[in-house]
Amino acid sequence: MWQRLFTLIRKEMQALLRSPQSRRLLIAPVLLQLLLFPFAATLEVKNSTLAVFNQDGGAASIELVQRLAATQAFPQVLMLHSQQEMQQVIDRQQALLAISLPQDLSRKLAAGQSVAAQAIIDGRRSNSAQIAYGYALQVIQQFAAERSHQLPPAKLVVQNLYNPNLEYRWFVLPSLVAIITTIGCLMVTALSLAREREEGTFEQLLVSPLTPGYIMAGKALPGMLVALVQGCIIAAAAVWVYHVPFSGTVGLLIVSMLCYGLSLVGFGLLISALSSNQQQAFLGSFAFMSPAVILSGYMAPVENMPLPLRLVSAVDPLSHFIIIVKGIFLKGYGFAEAWPQLWPLLAIAASTLALAYLMFLRRSH
């Protein structure tokens, strides 16, 4: 019976690879996303514009402005001349942050008195604005600390483990391994069964000696294979093109990709068992995929979510897989560290596959 399974898988792979168009569809989106997303998906703030209304004009204030302009976040500084202008640049999104330095800044600093500067921040994009504000604050505190003659009682030494310079790309690429493979794998699994139903070949399979289990395995394994290949391409690009460190073992990465693939095809088969045509299968996978990506911890940490969404996230295979991939890439995960995420993947796979199998039996009658 292995040979029949092999036949099913071969057929599926032939269908995927036969026309240049479908080959392109498997690879081109992956490459495009690989090219754009690591650069686009960043929560860092760079190249922003800072607006400054310097009412002081003393040496200290000029130095402070120069220091702010020297950061990566604000290569451009817009000098303003009135409070009104400050309002305008924020309204019109010409600057993310506007700082007004008071008249007596230089004098008070020299006198060791306390002085407060004002920052107006565009709350429409509060995350970027908050980060930008954080950068500005750091510069100003540093500046102030140098001028105060008091030593702090203790230094704060920050050390970023796993990613010393907090390179955002190191975070994005391992996550992309998980996200991009999700699209490919789910599409292949959910749509191919729906297509067989539309074209009538499904009945041809049902009258053959193949049992429903085999037909399902024949759909599941190609999906896993697609996930594996796409995942390896992205992982390879992460290591050799984007120079993300790889601290785990390739074997563990592949094992977890397979576990993840298995849990995905479970969802894929479940969706295809529920839909009667390709359109429904496509929209169904999409309706699964978009919440799955958002709740995966890629866009925002799972621990920040309210409890109900954290529970949903627990059955989202993506959230587990992202932790594993990042662990393998950056944190040197071995099997023991990966296991707490691997077993949920296997449990998700087991339950979705079982459910899909039951639905499949019901539908094939």
**Number of residues binding to other proteins, judged by CB under 8 A:** 138
Choices 209-217, 223-231, 262-270, 351-359 (CB under 8 A): range interacting with other proteins = 209-217
Q: Which two tokens stand for residue 181?
A: 């493979």
Binding other proteins by CB under 8 A: which of 77, 178, 191, 269?
191
* CB nearer to other proteins: pick between 100 and 352: 100
* CB nearer to other proteins: pick between 260 and 329: 329
Q: How far is the CB of 137 from other proteins (least distance, A)?
A: 5
Nearest Cα to 226, choosing from 266, 272, 257?
257
Q: Does 14 bind other proteins (CB under 8 A)?
A: yes
Q: Does 104 bind other proteins (CB under 8 A)?
A: no
* CB nearer to other proteins: pick between 142 and 354: 142
Site for other proteins in 278-297 (CB under 8 A): 278-280, 282-284, 286-287, 290-291, 294-295
Q: Does 84 bind other proteins (CB under 8 A)?
A: no
Q: How far is the CB of 270 from other proteins (least distance, A)?
A: 15
Choices 50-58, 187-195, 249-257, 261-269 (CB under 8 A): range interacting with other proteins = 187-195
Nearest Cα to 129, choosing from 252, 20, 43, 212?
43
Q: Does 233 bind other proteins (CB under 8 A)?
A: no
Site for other proteins in 38-77 (CB under 8 A): 39-49
Q: Does 134 bind other proteins (CB under 8 A)?
A: yes
Q: How far is the CB of 220 from other proteins (least distance, A)?
A: 16
* CB nearer to other proteins: pick between 32 and 354: 32
Q: Does 357 bind other proteins (CB under 8 A)?
A: no
CA dihedral 128, 166, 228, 35 (to 10 degrees): 60
175 burial (CB, 10 Å; 0-12 / 13-18 / 19+) is buried
103 burial (CB, 10 Å; 0-12 / 13-18 / 19+) is middle
135: left (phi over 0), alpha (psi -120 to 50) or beta: alpha
Residue at token pair 């539309």: 198
* CB nearer to other proteins: pick between 82 and 290: 290
Q: Does 6 bind other proteins (CB under 8 A)?
A: yes
Residues 6+ away with beta carbon under 8 Å from 150: none
Q: How far is the CB of 236 from other proteins (least distance, A)?
A: 20
At 101, give phi and psi (nearest 5°): -100, 130
152 burial (CB, 10 Å; 0-12 / 13-18 / 19+) is exposed
Q: How far apart are CA 296 and CA 264, in angstroms?
A: 14
Binding other proteins by CB under 8 A: which of 340, 343, 354, 361?
340
How far is CA 122 from each of CA 55, 95, 129, 140, 142, rounded to the nearest angstrom?
Answer: 21, 8, 6, 19, 24
Site for other proteins in 153-182 (CB under 8 A): 153-164, 166-168, 170-171
Q: Does 206 bind other proteins (CB under 8 A)?
A: yes
93: left (phi over 0), alpha (psi -120 to 50) or beta: left
Q: Does 242 bind other proteins (CB under 8 A)?
A: no
